[in-house]
Amino acid sequence: MAGRPPEPATTTVVLSVDDAVATIRIDRPEKRNALDTATRAELIACLDWAGATPDVRAVVVTGTGGSFAAGADLGETDRIDPLAMRAMLRERRVYHAVAECPVPVIAMIDGYCLGGGCELAMSADLRIASADSVFGQPEIALAIIPGGGGTQRLPRLVGLGQAMRLILTGDRIDAATALRLGLVEQVVPAGELEAATRELCGRITRHARPALTLAKQAVRASAELPLQAGLALETELLCLASTSDESAERLAAFRRGS
Ligand code: COA
């Protein structure tokens, strides 16, 4: 389609676009979709591609074969060199690419959502899960701690006490518990996950892309800004939204009663 940048070449991730929704599927089912270096890089490339593609208005990140992602690939190295790790953690990371993506990113979770997988889901704007999904931050069992934002995003989603409990115990929780805690926004029967996600995406992508971008930016800023600064940003972004052609068209259509 005209206006689309060339799609990134991928081997461990599958990218597809349907009806304004780009779906990015981690495709290493034999490794429970563990996030190795190549997969993380391809996720970033696909997220950047989706963000730069004008007709995309939402992104779904998911996994194939009954797992979302079982965390960092523990097979990549037998001992982590702290200096190499520091260099790697200072690079642009997949969690940032999700946050910076100008359109809403929805994590569609089926099965294991552990460690870096759970952190990937938490960095998304919305999370929808199948009823038999399993969540957790098991890093403590490896004598390490979460490194993909888990210690910061989990307390913001579920509160300090529940985050502490999950991170200190390494315990897994089921989807119903994740929903009750606020780790996911929606849980559906396993066979209905794709349809429910499509329906959710449709309710988002019917809206104008500039408004989606600005709404995402404003709501995300609320996690970091004091109230007055957040309200000031909201005012600026609303003014910006109201300058878009889409806003003028939709207002005119409302006045015409169409
Ligand atoms: N990194 C690398 N490989 C992984 C992996 C990970 N995080 N998680 C699973 N795999 C691999 C297994 O090594 C196995 O590979 P093999 O068939 O070549 O031996 C394959 O995926 C299937 O895993 P298996 O444990 O047999 O499947 P399961 O369905 O019984 O259990 C999990 C799935 C996810 C519960 C289990 O694999 C697990 O606990 N993984 C580690 C999760 C973790 O600690 N993540 C945080 C990392 S910081």
Is there a catalytic annotation at residue 224? no
Is there a catalytic annotation at residue 119? yes
Which residue is catalytic, options 7, 42, 100, 119? 119
For ligand 1, the distance from its centroid to the CA atom of residue 31, given in whole angstroms, is 6
Which residue is catalytic, options 91, 100, 139, 236? 139
**CATH code for 13-205?**
3.90.226.10
pLDDT classification of 194: cutoffs 50, 70, 90: very high
Residue 187 phi, psi dihedral angles, 5° rounding: -125, 135
For ligand 1, the distance from its centroid to the CA atom of residue 131, given in whole angstroms, is 20
Q: Tens digits of per-residue pLDDT, 79-100? A: 778 888 888 888 889 999 999 9
Q: Ligand 1: which residue has its CA nearest to atom 40?
A: 70
| Of 141, 95, 102, the residue nearest 119 (C-alpha) | 95
Take residue 48 and report the two structure tokens written for it. 């950047």
Burial of 79 (C-beta count, 10 Å sphere; 0-12/13-18/19+): exposed
Q: Tell if the pTM clears 0.75, that is, is over it.
A: yes
Q: What are the sequence ranges of the domains in the chain?
A: 13-205, 209-257
Q: Tens digits of per-residue pLDDT, 43-84? A: 999 999 999 999 999 999 999 999 999 999 999 877 778 888
Residue 59 phi, psi dihedral angles, 5° rounding: -125, 135
Please tell me the distance from the alpha carbon of residue 60 to that of residue 204, in angstroms, as a whole number.
Answer: 12
pLDDT classification of 243: cutoffs 50, 70, 90: very high
